[in-house]
């Protein structure tokens, strides 16, 4: 394997592993704010127990998120140093802003959140919880902004150096391999970079995915306690909060998914065609519900709904969605390969496609899970409304709760699949239409070095994952403490509870 | 933006990146140091005190590394790209050690049996030791200079990075952090344990100063440009002298029971070491050897003035906030550490 592929595998492995945890922290952060807020408002110790228990779960996901996040910050330089030189002027500032604004906020107040129960008053503690949740969202903002800039670059120009002086290159300059030691992208307009065409869509989509991850974790653990007949009051209250949050997040995610996909239609038509497996440009473009891409014959096998893709893309059942055989257009190819004869263009075109079968599958996994989560939420809310949700003598309720126990995996798999769709769908580009991934690697890093680091991370992350599951299981088995709160609560807190009327 | 035109942004960012990495050394330095000397106490209760003294803060301390890396990337992308790709394997090892160490802190307290705890104690200590050593080795290579080609790409080898000079800097860093950690522990513990750890402080100071002295001596032989630079900038001697005096002040403060002053002196000493480095190294970001013409400086490694200006605004808003959080967290968790049911 080439160093490029290995560098991509290594990066994908470390980011996929990392991406298990921050979404949980973001989602659980919101849950913690809700629980502690309810406790301060009502003075009901049940909410206090809930906040304490879910804080312990949060702490675990957060710690691993930080530990694996440091790796990401290093890897832009270690694996993609040519990329770092090329975009440092733009990409670096978003990353530094994330560190300065988000990470310090999170980690600083996290210490109070975890260890400060008897060091600060309840209002200060609640404020810390809010700040941790806010910081977690803020870090998502900056990293998704940075990534969105790679998908839809904006607010920059290219610059080269001639005789030691910077020279502005005209818009549309095509970067060649020979350029890479001198040309770089520099910022024109910071806010145009931040609010590039895909930032808001993708940020909303990622944050809602994170909310779902956190909400369904709460739902899952609560459903488990109900089935096991343990901590019933605690589990009921947690399940209600988790389910309400999950319902809101899932419903909004459907809207966000539609908007995000429409954005991809506009900004990255090749990615969209790969996601849906569209090869030919035909009116009333159908949507394939599930199936597979027959790469040899360039067709998709599976049940199709005529016109649905046209409708989702353009709100018109007839308007055709551009297919891969037209993408990228001839002009784009000729500009980059003036020496290639017309008849060779179809073959050349394929080198500008991502791995269509993989992108198709990742995208469809995400969609199918999304729809399934929506179904699960609707059924659960129906049970709740009818008062069946906690009626454990009802066999259907037990089945539903079993489904809810496993529901935690849904958002996790969908988040990962979505990430792979977005990143693989962008290939062969690392910065869309500007810089190729193959040109972005570190020139001085050999394949063997990457293999060594891959093995090293494989071992350490396996250990880390075992630890995560082990500690999570223990915390779940241990459950919430009912007795501790009265004896550990500092006097200043008790006073507050006594003076707060019960709602 | 007019005000920004009056400031040399490249120099400002040279200082700011230095401040972030100094903050990292001062803060993560003590928790890495606590790790390095963790195995020198035997009782489980004492080891738990070690871990809990750093419990609320070690995570936040590592954020300084992340932000330092981010700031380097943003302000001096060429330096970030050259160093991080050139030091590929050492940095991967560093990352794995840092993670392994974090795992050890979390895992250790979860089971009671002896072998389990012993294993994670060794893992924590080894992870801390290797992390400190590699940070020092990287720093040593930066001081000594690394081979760069005309495109500023690293032209050396992995084994070339493990030269005796860089390794000595690694050992010096481990001793510095261990000293710093022991002083921190004196501040956070009481009774018998404080007696033990504060007893180590003078010895660690002695070891550190010996190593520091050797390193400076070796620098004069191995890195000839340093002597020339220091001749041109004689005020560097004042900083070095102040540094040694401050380190020598530490045992006095410990002896008089003023642990906080001792810790402050130790932080100040680390700050002055970075100032020594910064004043000597300026205006280089990555020195190239044997061909200094290929060096990266604060000018040819930097982002555009526009980005440096935007970043400065971010820093002006962000850095006071960061200092405020850090100060308030350390204020809340001031005083002696105690063990509870939920401790490590």
- From chain A, the residues in CB contact with B58 under 8 A are none
Q: How confident is the model at residue A96 (pLDDT cuts 50, 70, 90)?
A: confident
Q: Is the pLDDT of residue A371 over 90?
A: yes
- Compute the nearest-CA separation of A63 from chain B (Å): 7
Same domain? A174 vs A139: no
Same domain? A29 vs A142: yes
Q: Is the pLDDT of residue A502 over 60?
A: no
Distance CA A468, CA A299 (A): 42
Of all residues in chain B, the one with the smallest CA distance to A457 is B96
Task: Phi first, then psi: give them for residue A325, nearest 5 degrees.
Answer: -65, -15
Same domain? A178 vs A39: no
- Burial class, B234, CB count within 10 angstroms (exposed 0-12 / middle 13-18 / buried 19+): exposed
Same domain? A168 vs A46: no
Q: How many CB atoms lie within 10 A of CB B199?
A: 12
Q: Is residue A275 assigned to a domain?
A: no
Q: Is the pLDDT of residue A498 over 50?
A: no
Q: How many CB atoms lie within 10 A of CB B301?
A: 27
Query: What is the reported pLDDT for B4?
Result: 57
Same domain? A117 vs A29: yes
Same domain? A181 vs A34: no
pLDDT digits 0-9 by tens, A23-68: 999 999 999 999 888 888 887 888 888 888 888 888 888 888 888 8
Q: Do A467 and B89 touch (CB under 8 A)?
A: no
Q: Of B80, B102, B329, which has the smallest distance from its Cβ to A63's Cβ?
A: B102
Query: What is the reported pLDDT for B322?
Result: 82
Distance CA A301, CA A321 (A): 18
Distance CA B120, CA B107 (A): 7
Q: Do A449 and B155 touch (CB under 8 A)?
A: no
Q: Is residue A166 assigned to a domain?
A: yes
Helix axes B9-36, B305-332, angle to 10 degrees: 30
Q: Which span out of A31-45, A63-77, A294-308, A398-412 was modeled with the highest average pLDDT?
A: A398-412
Same domain? A27 vs A147: yes
Distance CA B330, CA A113 (A): 14
Q: Do B103 and A463 touch (CB under 8 A)?
A: yes
Average pLDDT over residues A464-475: 86
- From chain B, the residues in CB contact with A463 under 8 A are 100, 103
Q: Do A453 and B86 touch (CB under 8 A)?
A: no
Distance CA B61, CA B6 (A): 33
Q: Do A92 and B75 touch (CB under 8 A)?
A: yes
Of all residues in chain B, the one with the smallest CA distance to A465 is B103
Query: What is the reported pLDDT for A190?
Result: 87
Q: Is the pLDDT of residue A413 over 50?
A: yes
- Compute the nearest-CA separation of A329 from chain B (Å): 34
Query: What is the reported pLDDT for A48?
Result: 83
Query: What is the reported pLDDT for A501?
Result: 41
Same domain? A177 vs A89: no
Q: Do A92 and B74 touch (CB under 8 A)?
A: yes
Q: Do B84 and A453 touch (CB under 8 A)?
A: no
Torsion of CA A168, A171, A174, A176, to 10 degrees: 20
| Weakly modelled stretches of chain B, pLDDT under 50 | none
Q: How confident is the model at residue A503 (pLDDT cuts 50, 70, 90)?
A: very low
Instruction: Give this prediction's pTM.
Output: 0.88
Q: Is residue A344 assigned to a domain?
A: no
Same domain? A148 vs A171: no
Q: Do B310 and A187 touch (CB under 8 A)?
A: yes
Do the Cβ atoms of A357 and A291 come closer than 8 Å? no
Distance CA B337, CA B328 (A): 17
Query: What is the reported pLDDT for B342?
Result: 64
- From chain A, the residues in CB contact with B63 under 8 A are 66, 99, 103-104, 107
ipTM: 0.84
Q: Do A99 and B95 touch (CB under 8 A)?
A: no
pLDDT digits 0-9 by tens, A323-362: 888 888 888 888 888 888 888 888 888 889 999 899 999 9
- Compute the nearest-CA separation of B300 from chain A (Å): 9
- Compute the nearest-CA separation of A20 from chain B (Å): 16
- Mutation choice for B interface testing from A65, A74, A112, A454 by most B CBs within 10 A: A74
Q: Do A444 and B85 touch (CB under 8 A)?
A: yes
Q: Is residue A42 assigned to a domain?
A: yes
| Domains in chain A, number | 2
Query: What is the reported pLDDT for A487?
Result: 38
Q: Of B77, B99, B106, which has the smallest distance from its Cβ to A89's Cβ?
A: B77
Residue B180 has, within 13 A of its CA and on its CB side, a CA count of 27
Query: What is the reported pLDDT for B275?
Result: 92
Q: Is residue A379 assigned to a domain?
A: no
Q: Of A63, A73, A444, which has the smallest distance from its Cβ to B69's Cβ?
A: A73
Domain boundary among A171, A195, A219: A195
Query: What is the reported pLDDT for A446?
Result: 85
- From chain B, the residues in CB contact with A66 under 8 A are 59, 62-63
Q: Do B89 and A92 touch (CB under 8 A)?
A: no
SS3 content of chain A, % helix, strand, coil (to 5): 70, 5, 25
Q: Do B307 and A103 touch (CB under 8 A)?
A: no
Q: Helices H, strands E: what count in chain B?
A: 14, 2
Q: Is residue A74 assigned to a domain?
A: yes
Cβ-Cβ contacts under 8 Å between A and B: the total is 222
- From chain B, the residues in CB contact with A52 under 8 A are none
pLDDT digits 0-9 by tens, B229-262: 888 888 888 998 998 899 888 888 888 888 888 8
Q: Do B74 and A442 touch (CB under 8 A)?
A: no
Residues of the domain holding A496: 1-152+445-503
Distance CA B173, CA B36 (A): 11
- Mutation choice for A interface testing from B69, B123, B285 by most A CBs within 10 A: B69
Q: Which helix (H) or strand (E) element contains residue A162?
A: strand A156-162
Same domain? A8 vs A146: yes
Q: What is the 8-class DSSP label of residue A321? A: P
Q: Of B67, B74, B82, which has the smallest distance from its Cβ to A103's Cβ?
A: B67
Q: Is residue A375 assigned to a domain?
A: no
Pick from A497, A495, A343, A411: nearest CA to A26: A411
- Compute the nearest-CA separation of B139 from chain A (Å): 16
Q: How many CB atoms lie within 10 A of CB B306?
A: 18
* Token pair 């060429």 in the structure block, residue: B78
Same domain? A65 vs A177: no
Q: How many CB atoms lie within 10 A of CB B58?
A: 24
Q: How far is CA B15 from CA A267, A407, B282, in A?
A: 40, 50, 10
Which sign does the torsion angle of CA A271, A276, A279, A280 carry?
negative
Query: What is the reported pLDDT for B69?
Result: 87
Distance CA B68, CA B70 (A): 5
- From chain B, the residues in CB contact with A112 under 8 A are 329, 332
- Selected residue with higher pLDDT from A129 and A496: A129
Query: What is the reported pLDDT for B2?
Result: 55
Same domain? A145 vs A166: no
For chain B, list the domains and their CATH numbers.
Answer: 2-281+306-332 (1.20.1630.10)
pLDDT digits 0-9 by tens, A106-147: 877 887 888 777 777 888 888 989 999 998 998 899 899 999
- From chain A, the residues in CB contact with B316 under 8 A are none
- From chain B, the residues in CB contact with A445 under 8 A are 85, 88
Of all residues in chain A, the one with the smallest CA distance to B301 is A85
Q: Which helix (H) or strand (E) element contains residue A158?
A: strand A156-162
Q: Is residue A108 assigned to a domain?
A: yes
Q: Do A96 and B74 touch (CB under 8 A)?
A: yes
Q: Do B322 and A442 touch (CB under 8 A)?
A: no
pLDDT digits 0-9 by tens, A164-210: 788 888 888 888 888 888 888 888 888 988 899 999 999 999 999 99
- Compute the nearest-CA separation of A122 from chain B (Å): 14
Query: What's the mean pLDDT when you consider all of chain A?
Result: 86
């Amino acid at each position: 394997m080439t160093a490029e592929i290995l560098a991509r595998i290594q990066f994908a492995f470390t980011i996929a592993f990392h991406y298990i945890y921050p979404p949980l922290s973001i989602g659980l952060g919101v849950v913690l704010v809700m629980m502690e807020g309810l406790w301060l408002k009502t003075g009901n110790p049940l909410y206090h127990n809930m906040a304490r228990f879910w804080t312990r779960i949060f702490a675990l996901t957060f710690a691993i998120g930080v530990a694996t996040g440091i790796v990401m910050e290093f890897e832009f330089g270690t694996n993609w140093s040519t990329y770092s030189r090329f975009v440092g002027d733009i990409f670096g500032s978003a990353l530094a802003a994330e560190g300065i604004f988000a990470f310090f906020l999170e980690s600083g107040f996290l210490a109070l959140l975890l260890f400060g129960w008897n060091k600060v008053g309840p209002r200060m503690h609640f404020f810390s919880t809010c700040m941790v949740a806010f910081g977690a969202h803020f870090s998502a903002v900056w990293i998704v902004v940075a990534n969105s800039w790679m998908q839809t670059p904006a607010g920059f120009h290219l610059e080269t150096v001639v005789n030691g002086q910077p020279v502005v290159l005209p818009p549309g300059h095509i970067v060649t391999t020979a350029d890479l030691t001198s040309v770089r992208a520099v910022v024109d307009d910071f806010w145009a970079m931040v609010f590039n065409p895909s930032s808001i869509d993708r940020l909303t989509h990622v944050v809602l995915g994170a909310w779902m991850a956190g909400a369904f974790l709460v739902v899952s653990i609560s459903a488990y306690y109900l089935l096991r007949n343990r901590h019933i009051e605690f589990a009921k209250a947690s399940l209600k909060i988790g389910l309400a949050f999950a319902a809101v997040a899932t419903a909004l995610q459907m809207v966000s998914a539609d908007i995000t996909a429409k954005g991809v239609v506009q900004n990255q038509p090749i990615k969209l065609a790969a996601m849906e497996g569209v090869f030919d440009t035909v009116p009333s473009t159908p949507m394939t519900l599930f199936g597979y891409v027959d790469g040899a014959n360039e067709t998709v096998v599976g049940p199709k709904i005529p016109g649905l893709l046209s409708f989702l893309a353009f709100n018109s059942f007839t308007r055709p969605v551009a297919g891969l055989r037209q993408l990228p257009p001839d002009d784009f190819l000729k500009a980059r390969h003036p020496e290639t004869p017309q008849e060779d263009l179809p073959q050349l075109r394929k080198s500008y496609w991502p791995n269509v079968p993989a992108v198709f599958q990742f995208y469809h996994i995400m969609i199918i899970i999304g729809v399934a989560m929506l179904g699960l939420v609707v059924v659960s809310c129906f049970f709740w409304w009818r008062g069946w949700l906690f009626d454990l003598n009802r066999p259907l309720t037990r089945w539903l709760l079993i489904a809810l126990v496993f529901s935690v995996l849904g958002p996790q798999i969908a988040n990962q699949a979505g990430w792979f769709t977005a990143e693989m769908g962008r290939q062969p580009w690392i910065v869309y239409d500007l810089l190729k991934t193959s040109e972005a690697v570190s020139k001085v890093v050999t394949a063997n070095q990457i293999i060594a680091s891959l093995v090293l991370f494989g071992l350490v992350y396996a250990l880390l994952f075992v630890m995560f599951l082990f500690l999570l299981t223990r915390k779940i088995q241990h459950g919430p403490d009912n007795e501790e709160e009265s004896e550990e609560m500092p006097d200043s807190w008790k006073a507050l509870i006594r003076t707060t009327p019960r709602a | 933006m007019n005000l920004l035109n009056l400031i040399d942004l490249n120099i400002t960012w040279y200082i700011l990146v230095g401040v972030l990495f100094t903050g990292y050394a001062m803060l993560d330095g003590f928790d890495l140091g606590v790790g390095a000397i963790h195995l020198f106490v035997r009782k489980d209760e004492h080891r738990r005190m070690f871990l809990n003294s750093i419990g609320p803060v070690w995570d936040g301390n590592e954020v300084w590394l992340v932000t330092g890396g981010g700031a380097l990337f943003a302000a001096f992308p060429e330096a970030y790209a050259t160093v991080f790709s050139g030091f590929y394997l050492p940095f991967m090892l560093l990352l794995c050690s840092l993670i392994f160490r974090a795992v050890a802190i979390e895992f250790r307290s979860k089971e009671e049996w002896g072998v389990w705890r012993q294993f994670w104690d060794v893992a924590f200590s080894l992870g801390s030791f290797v992390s400190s050593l590699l940070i020092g080795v990287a720093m040593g290579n930066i001081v000594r200079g690394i081979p760069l080609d005309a495109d500023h790409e690293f032209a050396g080898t992995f084994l070339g990075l493990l030269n005796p000079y860089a390794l000595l800097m690694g050992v010096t860093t481990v001793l510095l952090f261990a000293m710093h950690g022991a002083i921190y522990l004196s501040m956070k513990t009481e009774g018998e344990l404080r007696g033990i750890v504060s007893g180590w402080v003078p010895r660690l100071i002695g070891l550190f100063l010996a190593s520091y002295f050797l390193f400076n001596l070796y620098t004069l032989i191995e890195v000839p440009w340093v002597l020339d630079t220091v001749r041109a900038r004689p005020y560097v001697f004042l900083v070095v002298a102040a540094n040694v005096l401050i380190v020598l002040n530490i045992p006095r403060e410990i002896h008089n029971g003023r642990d906080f002053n001792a810790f402050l002196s130790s932080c100040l000493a680390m700050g002055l070491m970075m100032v020594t480095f910064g004043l000597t190294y300026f205006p280089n970001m990555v020195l190239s050897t044997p061909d200094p013409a290929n060096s990266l400086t604060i000018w040819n490694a930097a982002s555009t003035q526009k980005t440096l200006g935007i970043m400065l605004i971010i820093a002006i808003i962000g850095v006071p906030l960061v200092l405020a959080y850090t100060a308030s967290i350390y204020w809340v968790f001031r005083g002696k550490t105690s063990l509870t049911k939920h401790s490590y």
